[in-house]
Amino acid sequence: MVHLRLSRLLDGRRWVLLVVAAVGVAVSATWVVQALLLSRVFGALTSGAGAPADRVRDLAPLLVALAAVLVARPLLVLARQLVAQALMSRTKQDLRERVTRAFVRRSAADPAAGRTGRDHAVVVDGVENLDAYLAGYLPQLLVTGVVVAGVGTAALLVDPVVGAVAIAATALLPLLPRAWDRVLAARGADHWDAYQQLHAEFVDSMQGMTTLVTLNAEHRRAAELARASEHLLSRTLHQLRVSLVESGLSSLALVAVPAVVLAVVAARRDALTPVAVFTLVLLSVELVRPLRDLAAAWHAGYLGTYSGEQVAQVLADAPPDDPVAVAPPARVPGAPPVELRGVRVRHHGTDRDALSAVDLVLRPGLTAVVGATGSGKSTLAGVLAGLLVPVDGTVLLHGVPAGPDRLLAHVALVPQDPVLFAGTVGDDIGLGVPAAPRARTGTAPDVATAAAVAGIGTQDPTVHLATPVGERGALVSGGQRQRVAVARALVQSRDVLVLDEATSALDAASEARLVAGVVALDPDRAVVAVTHRLDVARSARHVVVVDGGRVVEQGAPDALLARPGAFAALAGVRVP
């Protein structure tokens, strides 16, 4: 069974399969050469012609050649494994990067899509399952075709009758187990689905353990996990039973081929020389050896056909990569850092626009985006960061149209509930340090400077760079997590910084000092603060009011407060 779609996951590395297959053919060739050499040896030993010393002398070159074959085979097997490992190590790394990026964008566009545990299973085990299929089964298909054709031709040359029977038996008998392929496929799909389901339930339970304990629901949840585990066990045992039946049928069919050849050779023994008899019998074994290896490779890798389909589908649904994503963007002199023209966004599964006809210019300094809950502020932040792709309109970076990958490379986003990784505060901030310097007009701050600007060790002396944060930041407060996330974004030194309610856990005075420090660190950077707090908006250079997915008002805060409008209404200012 061949899934051609999965071979595309190798991207530009499909040629390496030919190298793996070529080495595999060389390994099979050592078996064929061994069979031919042994047939000559057996023929010489049974002929009884000549003195023993002469026979030993005649056999010496054959035995030397046989020893060389026995030495060459393990070296070729090692070479095949090394090439396959090199191929799949890089391929799996690339696939995990691409699938993770696709999941991030999908979650930004549709937060309700998928489950963390299922997605984790696809990224980790789903990609890993592809190893045996892509680097083992697919090359072995090519090896099998070449070897069966070559050995079958050799058998025909030795004796056309026996050769024809051997080829026909090799072509027909292994078809018997294929009747079980559909059953095996159904069982394999059930097994993978059950595995993903258990993975999802377990991850949900670990993430919500505190909630389960406070609700006294941990025992009920444990029972649900036990049922999911039993379901996986049941699916696994069903799969094993079908797989064992298929393996038995395959083994029976493969054993039958040499048996049929042996029967025909016995019937024609009077017409065959001893060397021809040994040659045909041993070649019949080599006819089925690649088929036996193919069956083993299929059983080792067929789980990849189920998880691999999900990997392929995730990548197919993802937007295309921007080929110049990480290159410094061209700049139009005098153009603003970011400009939105007629941007329209609609979330997956909804029938209305989240943003509609948004025209917006973001210049250096602080821009505050305000509006009621659900007005589209966070959606706007997602567009600016490249996490959401507009269905209409254009986003320009320094006057040049920018795709999502370019925006991801040049816009830093700090969300309201940032994720910290286990380690210290310094370790988490250091994650933002770019691997290569960017073409920025300003100088990127170091970790210590960024931490100080975010108030770590200054405004909040209870935390410092060596403070452990725990898994997901469990050892620090919500406000401290936000400070670390802001500092992590600052060391990236990107052209635009978007703070999506990123200081909501701080008190008003601390928030004002942090935002002022961020703006002062790099006056040439555009800082966008999505906020409900109007104190931040009043200190901004520019205010944008969003309502119902539209920009209903924008301008300097003092000018907006001086006239009746949306911003004055939000601020509770009565303008005559």
Averaged pLDDT, 20-47: 87
Q: What is the DSSP string of 6-21?
A: HHGGGGGGHHHHHHHH
Q: pLDDT tens digit string along 75-118?
A: 999 999 998 888 888 888 888 888 888 887 777 666 667 788 88
Confidence at residue 439, expressed as pLDDT on a 0 to 100 scale: 43
Containing 488, the helix (H) or strand (E) segment is helix 478-490
Distance of CA 339 to the CA centre of its chain: 32
Q: Which has the higher per-residue pLDDT, 306 or 465?
A: 465
Q: What is the pLDDT of residue 463?
A: 86
Residue 317 has pLDDT above 80, yes or no: no
The residue written with tokens 């042994």 in the block is 38
End-to-end CA distance of the chain: 78
pLDDT band at 316 (very low <50, low <70, confident <90, very high): confident
Confidence of residue 239 (pLDDT cuts 50, 70, 90): confident
Structure tokens at 333: 């002199």
Do residues 501 and 371 make contact, with C-beta atoms less than 8 angstroms apart?
no
Whether 429 and 412 have beta carbons less than 8 Å apart is answered as no
Q: Does position 248 have pLDDT exceeding 80, yes or no?
A: no
Instruction: Please check whether the domain covering 89-317 is classified as CATH 1.20.1560.10.
Output: yes
Say if residue 295's pLDDT is above 60.
yes
Q: Are 493 and 445 in contact (CB under 8 A)?
A: yes
Q: What's the rounded Cα separation, in Å, for the pair 267 and 1?
A: 36
pLDDT tens, residue by residue, 256-294: 888 888 898 888 888 888 888 888 888 888 888 888 888
Q: What is the pLDDT of residues 150-209, one digit of tens each?
A: 999 999 998 999 889 888 888 876 666 555 566 666 666 777 788 888 888 888 888 788
Distance CA 488, CA 444 (A): 11
Q: What is the pLDDT of residue 43?
A: 77
Q: 17 pLDDT exceeds 50?
A: yes
pLDDT at position 252 over 60: yes
pLDDT above 90 as % of the chain: 14
Question: 3-state DSSP: the chain helix, strand, coil percent, rounded to 5?
Answer: 65, 10, 25
pLDDT at position 23? 92
pLDDT per position as a tens digit, 416-455: 888 888 889 888 898 888 765 554 445 678 889 988 988 8
- Indicate the domain borders of the chain: 89-317, 338-571
* CATH class of the domain comprising 338-571: alpha beta
